Amino acid sequence: MRVDAFGERWPPRSDAHPAFALCADDFAMTQGVSRAILSLADQGRLSATSVMTTMPHWRALAPALREREADLAIGLHLNLTLGQPATAMPRLAPGGRLPAFGSLATQSLTGRLQGTAARNELAAEIGAQLDLFAEVFGREPDYVDGHQHVHVLPGVRGPLLTCLGNRGLAGRLWLRDPSEKVASILSRRGPMVKALVIATLAKGWREAAIAGGFATNHGFAGVSAFRSTGNFETEFAAFLVAPGPRHLVMCHPGTIYRAGEVDAELMALDPVVDSRPMEFAFLKSPRFAEICNAAGLALMSGAALKRQGLSTSAWQV
């Protein structure tokens, strides 16, 4: 037996258990969303959270997150579609407002992000969002993903990989791959069209990331219809069907300020509102662990994800 560079025993323990990582997106989007994420982290119900360093609450909320970084992987949630950018972007964000996802995706798919001006703006913005993370944590993020998966869009992925490579981060952080095998998507019986569109947009991303020296997850779920009514427990159970060897599940929890009131701040920013308290309620309930056990999967701790995220081996605990 030996211990590898990540502190893992090799060969793997005979009693090692297949595991998945659970990541809460959108930290710092609003106070309600962030409070829910911090609460779940305190209960050991998350492996990771992805932060939006461009949002007004980032600097005020970040210290509370830093207190929890010992057992929580913390990544950059690259934001190119919500609110104000961190830099001046006259080409992509005229008037100081980032474009809606539909507009950015259209520009991406029609090649309008390939020009020098657009690429330079994207590179500067990506670098600035990384800098805002480092200002608080004194280090780079554990991984990078994207709000609405913008990091995998053609025209965005190139500047992102170049920026990370120029900073010497190859092999030092991992990247989210939101693609999934068609058979796995179909077996989960969720919002299949949405998941297939995301997988199509991400085509070639994993290969590009690996070629650049970055590990990725292998297996992805969490694509939701964000229903205001229904049973999130059933939806979550489907996320654990046909897991990949490095299975990553995203979630979007949130809280309300007072009983019976929605998060007005969130309503002004994001269409995903009513489903967030439902996700939060399930994830903190006893049923969460029961569903994981029934699927034969263990939740990775943040510390385990930090160790194993940079390798290419199957995730285990």
Output 240 or 3, whichever has higher pLDDT.
240
Strands 298-299 and 19-27, by their bridges, are: parallel
Nearest Cα to Cα of residue 28 among 139, 136, 160: 136
Tens of pLDDT, residues 50-94 = 999 999 999 999 999 999 999 999 999 999 999 999 999 999 999
Q: 9 pLDDT exceeds 90?
A: no
pLDDT for position 230: 73
**Mean of the pLDDT values across residues 259-275?**
66
Number of residues written out for the chain? 317
**Mean of the pLDDT values across residues 18-29?**
97
Question: For residue 108, is it within any domain?
Answer: no
Strands 143-146 and 174-175, by their bridges, are: parallel
Measured between alpha carbons, how far is 233 from 279 in angstroms, rounded to an integer?
8
Is residue 41 within 8 A of residue 303, CB to CB? The reply is no
Average predicted confidence (pLDDT) for the chain: 91
pTM for the structure as a whole: 0.92
Token reading at 122: 């994207």
Q: Which helix (H) or strand (E) holds 299?
A: strand 298-299
Tens of pLDDT, residues 121-153 = 999 999 999 999 999 999 999 999 999 999 999
pLDDT for position 258: 52
Q: 261 pLDDT exceeds 60?
A: no
Indicate which CATH number applies to the domain containing 67.
3.20.20.370
**Mean of the pLDDT values across residues 259-278?**
69
Output 161 or 258, whichever has higher pLDDT.
161
Q: Any idea which residue has 């969720």 for tokens?
A: 190
Question: For residue 113, is it within any domain?
Answer: no
pLDDT for position 3: 31
Q: Any idea which residue has 């170049």 for tokens?
A: 162
pLDDT for position 57: 94
Question: For residue 128, is it within any domain?
Answer: no
Question: For residue 85, is it within any domain?
Answer: no
Token reading at 306: 């930090």
Nearest Cα to Cα of residue 313 among 19, 109, 97, 85: 19
Nearest Cα to Cα of residue 272 among 225, 212, 208: 225
Strands 247-251 and 220-221, by their bridges, are: parallel
**Residue 241: which domain range?**
2-78+139-161+169-308
pLDDT for position 15: 60
pLDDT for position 242: 97
pLDDT for position 146: 99
Strands 220-221 and 298-299, by their bridges, are: unpaired
Question: For residue 105, is it within any domain?
Answer: no
Sort 147 into a burial class: Cβ within 10 Å, 0-12 / 13-18 / 19+.
Answer: buried
pLDDT for position 2: 31
Output 8 or 305, whichever has higher pLDDT.
305
What DSSP string runs through 52-86?
-TTSTTHHHHHHHHHTTGGGSEEEEEE-SSSS--S
Measured between alpha carbons, how far is 166 from 163 in angstroms, rounded to an integer?
5
pLDDT for position 7: 36
* Number of structural domains in the chain: 1
Q: Which helix (H) or strand (E) holds 24?
A: strand 19-27
Q: Phi first, then psi: what are they for 69, rounded to 5°? A: -75, -15
Measured between alpha carbons, how far is 154 from 105 in angstroms, rounded to an integer?
9
Question: For residue 315, is it within any domain?
Answer: no
Q: 6 pLDDT exceeds 70?
A: no
Token reading at 222: 């969490």
Tens of pLDDT, residues 191-248 = 899 999 999 999 999 999 999 999 999 999 999 877 767 789 999 999 999 999 999 9
Nearest Cα to Cα of residue 220 among 17, 18, 23, 13: 23
